[in-house]
Chain A
Amino acid sequence: MNDDIPNNLFWLASYPKSGNTWFRSFLQALLSDQNKPFNINELSTGSIASSRLWIDNALGFDSADLTHDEVDNVRTSVYQWSSKQAQEYAYHKIHDAYISDTQKKPLFGYSGIAGALYIVRNPLDVCISLANHYNVSIDQAIKIMGEKDYAIGASTHRLADQLRQKMGSWSEHVQGWLSATDIAIKMIRYEDMHGQALQTFMQAAVFLNLPDDSSQVGLAIEACQFEKLQSQEKVTRFKEAPPKTERFFRKGKVGDWQSTLTKQQVQTIIKDHYTVMHKLNYVDDQGKPIV
C-alpha cells in the first residue's frame, strides 16, 4: 500500500457507553430523508472497525485462522483498501484503544483515515451504563474501567463475532486517542451533546464533512432525541442491544452517578482516573466532581 490513498474513512471513536450509538443515530438522521421517520434499527452507518465480516471480505481468507496479533497486523491494510474503494466519506464506529501493531505502527492512524471524532463521557456515569451493558455489578464495571490490559474478544479458545479489541483502562483509552498525532482528532463531550446540543453537533458535523446547515443539524438532533430513541426501544427491541439487557437506551442522563454511586465508588473512579478527569473538567483541582 502506498500513500496515494484517499482519506475517506472517519472513525467515530469512544470508550463503550459514551454516546457513540446516539451519535450514529444523529448521523443517520442527518444523512437520510428527513421526512422519513427515524428508525433505531436502521442505523446504516459503516461497520464497526472490529467487524470480522468487514475484515474477512477484504482479506479473502478467514481472520479466524490467524492469531489475534496476526489479525492486528493486517487491519491497517484492510482499512486502507476500504478507503481506496469508498466513493465518499465513510463513518465507522470504533471501541479499540489507539494502539499499534506488532511492528509498532499505529493501527488506526495512517493514510486513508480522514480523522477521528472522539466522544468522551464522565466515567462516573459511564460505569453505570457499562454495568448495565455487560450485565455486571457497578463495582465490576469500575474494575473493568481501571484494568490496563482490558480487551474484548481476546479468548484464544473460541471465536468471537468481532475481532479482539484492546481497550485498556478508561484513562488509557481517552489519552491514547486524544494524544494521537498521526490523524486529525476532534473531541466532543457527551455532556455537551446534551447541554449544548446544536453547538456540539455542529462542530462534529463540520469536522466530519457532513452537511452543516444549522437547521438541518437541528432537525437531525430532534429526530434522535434520547427520549425518542427510548420510546422506540420500548416498542421494538434494539438489535444492537446486548443479550440479557432490558434496555440499551437506558437513562442517558448526565449526572446519574449522583443518585446511583456510593461515596466509595465515586472515590475509586476519581483515584483511578484523576489525571484524565481533571484534564476534561470532570473533577476540580481538589479531586471533587464538577457537577
Chain B
Amino acid sequence: MYTHQLYQLTACSDLYCPELISIKELNQTSKPDIEIKKGLATRDGLSEADQIGPYLYANESRLWLKVPDVATFIVEEGKRITYQPVSGIDDQSVRVFLLGSVLGALLMQRGYLVLHGNAFQVGDECVICVGHSGAGKSTLAAAMMQAGYPVISDDVCAINDQGEIIPGFPRIKLWKDTAKKLGIETQGLRKIRPNMEKFDYPLGQQFCQQRLPVKALYVLNSHNEDRFTVQAITKMDKFYAFQQHSYRRPFLVGKMAHEHIRQCGKFSKKIEMATIRRPSEGFQIDALREFIINDVEQRLAPQAASI
C-alpha cells in the first residue's frame, strides 16, 4: 500500500500515484482519511441512486462513474474509492480520472464547495480562476507559477466552510503546445495518458501547501474581440457564477444540493468577483497574466493604504 497526501487528507492506496505527495506510512493507530482500492465497482450498492448521466449514478453518499474503455469507479461517504480498470488499461489513464472527477466527488461528499478552477497564492491570500474546459485555466496557473505566484490547486478547487482554499496536490496538466509556448521542456515529463500529448508538470517548490482565504475570483472567458476586458460580477450574478462554475454540479444530489446552495450564497457575499474576457485568437498568456496581476494589485491596494 502507498500513503499519499492530497487536499490535506491522507490516502492509503494500492495504486501508486506519483502526482501526489508521498508520505511515511501511517502508524497502526491512525486511520487514513481515504482508502483507494482496486475492486469490483458494480452499480449493485447503488440501487436507490439516481441516474445523473449516461455513465453516472449517484445518491447522497455514493457515486458510480464509468469512463468507457478505461475504468469504473465508486466513491463512498467521502472516504472510500473503489476502481475497476478495464482489462489491459494502463495505470496513468486510471489515475487521470481518479484524480479528477472521482476525487472531486469525494471532496463534495466531504462537504467542501468544489469549484472548476485553479487557485494561486498572492501574498497571504489567494485568487481563484474558474472557467469551462478550454478557458485557459491550467495555462494561466502555469504562467502565474512562472511569475512567482505559487499554485494551490489545479482544476479541482476545494473551499472549506471558513472560506479557505485547501491545497490540492503539486501538479498541473499541460498540453504540449502550451508547454512549448511557456518555454517548458516536455521531454522527461510524464504523459497523462500514453496516447495523449498532455503532460503532468510537477510544481515542486511552487506548490503552496497552506490553506488561504480567497481574495478574489475571476471567471475566465474568451470573446471574438482583440482586447482584454474586466467586468465586475455583482449581486445575484455572483451566486449564479458560483453555481455555474461549481465542479460537476450534477454530482450534487439531495441534501448535498441544498448545502451547495447555502455555500454558494455564503461565499458569493464575501468574495470579490469579475469576468475577464481575453481574445479567443492567439496565445496571449503574458498579457493575460499581466492583466490579472494588475487587477489583483488594485484590489489589494486600498488594504495596503489603510495599514
Contacts and interface: CB of A to CB of B under 8 A. Distances in A.
Interface of A: 1, 52-53, 56-65, 67, 70, 73-74, 77-78, 80-81, 155-161, 237, 239, 241-245
B134 A52 contact: yes
Given A56-B133, A59-B53, A62-B101, 8 more contacts: A60-B251, A61-B97, A64-B198, A65-B196, A65-B198, A74-B55, A158-B177, A158-B178
Given A59-B55, A81-B54, A243 B175 contact: no
A70 B55 CA distance: 14
Interface in B44-103: 52-56, 65, 67-69, 96-97, 100-101
Contacts of B195: 67
A248 to B, nearest CB: 9
B14 interface: no
Contacts of B133: 52-53, 56, 62-64, 159
A80 B248 CA distance: 20
B176 interface: yes
Given A60-B250, A73-B69, A81-B54, A156 B134 contact: no
Nearest to B56: A60
Given A52-B134, A67-B196, A156-B196, A77 B175 contact: no
B190 interface: no
A91 B248 CA distance: 24
Contacts of A62: 100-101, 133
Contacts of B177: 155, 157-158
Interface of B: 52-56, 65, 67-69, 96-97, 100-101, 132-134, 175-178, 192-193, 195-198, 222-226, 248-251, 279-281
Given A60-B251, A74-B68, A241-B224, A157 B197 contact: yes
A177 B280 CA distance: 31
B175 A158 contact: yes
A65 B97 contact: yes
B68 A73 contact: yes
Contacts of B97: 61, 65
B54 A160 contact: no
Contacts of A244: 226, 281
Interface of A (DSSP majority class): loop
The 5 A-B residue pairs whose C-beta atoms are closest, nearest first, are A243-B281, A77-B54, A158-B177, A81-B54, A157-B176
A237 B226 CA distance: 12
Given A52-B134, A61-B100, A241-B224, A157 B175 contact: yes
Nearest to B175: A158
A53 B251 CA distance: 16
B134 A159 contact: yes
Nearest to B65: A60
Kindly name the residue among A73, A78, A157 whose own CB sees the greatest number of chain B CB atoms within 10 A. Answer: A157
Contact of B175 (A1, A59, A159, A245): A159
12 contacts: A1-B54, A60-B101, A60-B251, A62-B133, A65-B96, A65-B198, A70-B69, A156-B196, A157-B175, A157-B177, A242-B224, A243-B280
A80 B176 contact: no
Contacts, number: 93
A154 to B, nearest CB: 13
A160 B280 CA distance: 11
B52 A60 contact: yes
A65 B100 contact: yes
Kindly name the residue among B133, B177, B248 whose own CB sees the greatest number of chain A CB atoms within 10 A. Answer: B133
A243 B223 CA distance: 8
Kindly name the residue among A1, A159, A161 whose own CB sees the greatest number of chain B CB atoms within 10 A. Answer: A159
Contacts of B192: 65
B218 to A, nearest CB: 18
Contact of B55 (A77, A155, A158, A242): A77
Contact of A237 (B55, B65, B224): B224
Contacts of A53: 132-133
Contact of B134 (A1, A57, A160): A160
Contacts of B54: 1, 58-59, 74, 77-78, 80-81
A245 B223 CA distance: 13
A158 to B, nearest CB: 4
Contacts of B196: 65, 67, 156
A56 B132 CA distance: 10
Given A60-B251, A65-B97, A158 B176 contact: yes
A56 B69 CA distance: 17
A74 B21 CA distance: 33
Contacts of B281: 243-244
B134 A161 contact: yes
Contacts of A60: 52-53, 55-56, 65, 101, 248, 250-251
A230 to B, nearest CB: 17
Contacts of B198: 64-65
